[in-house]
Amino acid sequence: MSSQVLIKLAEKATVAENILVKVKAQLEAVKQTAMLNFMNEEKSRLEGENQRLRNEIDGFKKELILAEIGNGVKQVYIPTERAIKQAVSSSGEKKCPDIKKEVEKKSNNKIDSKEKVDKAGPKKGSTPTKGAPLDGDLKAVDVSSLDLRVGLIVSAKKHPDADKQYVEEVDVGDEGGRTRSVVSGLVDHMPVEAIHNRLGIFLCNLKPAKIRGVLSEAMLICACTPDKVELLDPPSGCAPGDRVTCTQFPGKPETLLNPKKKIWETVKPDLKTNNKCIATFKDQVLLIEGKGNVTAKTLADAQLS
DSSP assignment of 162-218: -TT-EEEEEE---GGG--EEEEE--TTTS-GGGTTT-EEEEE--SPPEEETTEEE-S
Model pLDDT, residue 226: 92
Q: How far apart are the C-alpha atoms of 168 and 305, rounded to whole Å? A: 17
Model pLDDT, residue 46: 87
- Whole-model pTM over 0.75: no
The DSSP annotation for 16-68 comes to HHHHHHHHHHHHHHHHHHHHHHHHHHHHHHHHHHHHHHHHHHHHHHHHHHHHH
Model pLDDT, residue 92: 52
pLDDT tens string 155-184: 999 999 999 999 999 999 999 989 999 999
Assess whether pLDDT exceeds 90 at residue 64.
no
DSSP-derived letter for residue 130 is T
Q: Which pLDDT band holds residue 62 (cuts at 50, 70, 90)?
A: confident
Assess whether pLDDT exceeds 50 at residue 96.
no
- 135 to 132, 248, 286: CA distances (angstroms): 9, 21, 28
pLDDT tens string 139-153: 578 999 999 999 999
- Lowest average pLDDT, out of 114-118, 200-204, 270-274, goes to 114-118
